[in-house]
Amino acid sequence: MPLRNIQFNVKQLLATSKLKYSEEELVAALQRNERTAFEFLYDHYSGALFNIISKTLRDEERAADVLQESFLKIWKNIASYNPEKGRLFTWIMNIARNGAIDAARVEGRKPIMDDIDDRAVQNERDVSEDSMTTSSEMKAIIDMLRPERKILIDMAYFQGYTHEEISEELRIPLGTVKSRIRTALQELKQYFAV
C-alpha cells in the first residue's frame, strides 16, 4: 500500500475519533445507519455497557458475547428508539441489561441484580436532556479516562476513599494520587464544557 494511502487512513481515523455528537445528532446519524455514528456509540458507551453486563453475569467472556449481541440489537432496532420515552443511554443500557438477564436465565442462574442502579433507569423518563447526568452516564464518561486515572476517580468519588487511603491502598505517592485526580477532573471538565 502506498504511503499516501496509509497517511490518509490515519488522518481519517483521527478525524472520526474526534467527532462529537449531541444526543439528537447521534440518534439521527444512527437512524441513517452512518458507520461513524455506530463507531462513536461503541467507543463511548461499550465500557459502561460491559460493566453493567459483567456485574450481572460475573463472567467476562460471556459478558463480551452479550455486549456484542447488545450492539447488534441496537443496530437492528435503532429505528424503534423514541426520544420521548427516555434518553438514548437509558435505551441502550436497558438492551444490554436485558441481554445480560436473559443470558443468566438461559444458563440456569439467577441474575445478580444488586449492583445495577435501576432507579436511574426508572427516573430518567422525567429528566430533561439539559439536566444533571445520571450516575450510569457519569460512569460511562469516566470509563473514557486512562485506567490509572479512572481507578483513582472511582475510589475517591464512588467508593469514598480519601487521597491518603488511596495512596496507601495502591502504594503510590500521595502527590501522584493528587496530581492524577486533578488531571482526570480537568479532562472531565473539558468533556462537560463541550
164: domain CATH number is 1.10.10.10
Domain hosting residue 156, numbered range: 135-193
User: What burial class does residue 32 get, using C-beta atoms within 10 Å of its C-beta: 0-12 exposed, 13-18 middle, 19+ buried?
Assistant: exposed
Contact in structure between 20 and 194 (CB atoms under 8 Å):
yes
- 177, amino acid identity: V
Number of domains making up the chain: 2
At residue 75, the pLDDT reads: 93
All three cell numbers of 138: 457519569
CA dist 49 and 57 (Å) reads 12
CA dist 9 and 58 (Å) reads 38
Tell whether 47 and 98 lie within a shared domain.
yes
Ramachandran area for residue 86 (φ above 0: left; ψ -120 to 50: alpha; else beta): left
Tell whether 94 and 44 lie within a shared domain.
yes
For residue 115, the SS3 value is coil
> CB neighbours of 63 closer than 8 A, spacing ≥ 6?
50, 53, 54, 57, 100
What is the CB-side half-sphere exposure of residue 43 using CA atoms within 13 A? 14
Residue 46, Cβ neighbours under 10 Å: how many? 19
For residue 194, the SS3 value is coil
* Residue that the C-alpha cell 444533571 belongs to: 132
Nearest in space to 133 (alpha carbons), one of 18, 21, 23, 54: 23
At residue 90, the pLDDT reads: 83
Helices 88-106 + 23-31 axis angle, to 10: 60
For residue 76, the domain's CATH number is 1.10.1740.10
Residue 114 lies in a domain: no
CA dist 182 and 120 (Å) reads 27
At residue 111, the pLDDT reads: 53
Residue 74 lies in a domain: yes
Residue 7 lies in a domain: no
At residue 151, the pLDDT reads: 86
Q: Which residues of the chain have pLDDT under 70?
A: 1-18, 109-138, 157-160, 191-194
At residue 107, the pLDDT reads: 74
Q: What is the pLDDT of residues 48-66, one digit of tens each?
A: 888 888 887 888 899 999 9
At residue 25, the pLDDT reads: 92
